[in-house]
Amino acid sequence: MTNINKYFIANLKMYGNKKYVKSIKKVIDFKKKKKYTKVKLIYCPPYTLLSDFVNYTKNSSIEVGAQNCHQDEFSGSYTGSISPNMIKSLGAKYIIIGHSENRISGDNNSIINKKIISALSQKLNVIFCIGETFKEKKNNKTKSVLKKQIISGLKKVKKINKVIFAYEPVWCIGTGKIPKTKEIRDQFIFIKKLIKNRFNSKNPIIVYGGSVDPKNIKSLNQISEIKGFLVGGASRKPNKFIDIIKKSII
Ligand code: PGA
Residue 3 confidence (pLDDT): 79
Residue 2 confidence (pLDDT): 56
What's the pLDDT tens digit per position in 184-229?
999 999 999 999 999 989 899 999 999 999 999 999 999 999 999 9
What's the pLDDT tens digit per position in 40-72?
999 999 999 999 999 999 999 999 999 999 999
The answer to whether the beta carbons of residues 129 and 230 sit under 8 Å apart is yes
In the CATH scheme, what is the homologous superfamily, with its name and number, of domain 6-248? Aldolase class I (3.20.20.70)
Instruction: Please spell the DSSP secondary structure of 156-172, one letter per residue.
Output: T----TTEEEEE--GGG
Compute the mean pLDDT over every residue in the chain, rounded to the nearest whole number: 97
Is pLDDT above 80 for 1? no
Q: Is the pTM of this model over 0.85?
A: yes
Closest CA to 93 of 127, 59, 48, 56: 127
Residue 159 confidence (pLDDT): 85
Is the distance from the beta carbon of residue 168 to the nearest atom of ligand 1 less than 6 Å? yes
What atom in ligand 1 is closest to the CA of residue 235?
3
Is the distance from the beta carbon of residue 233 to the nearest atom of ligand 1 less than 6 Å? yes
Q: Tell me the domain boundaries of the chain.
A: 6-248
Is the distance from the beta carbon of residue 131 to the nearest atom of ligand 1 less than 6 Å? no
Q: Give the residue numbers annotated as catalytic, written as ranges.
A: 99, 168
What atom in ligand 1 is closest to the CA of residue 234?
3
Q: How far is residue 150's CA from residue 148's CA, in Å, rounded to a whole number?
A: 5
Is the distance from the beta carbon of residue 11 to the nearest atom of ligand 1 less than 6 Å? yes
* CA 213 to ligand 1 center in whole angstroms: 10
Q: How far is residue 10's CA from residue 181's CA, in Å, rounded to a whole number?
A: 22
Give the Cα-Cα-Cα angle 9, 177, 95 (nearest 5 degrees): 25
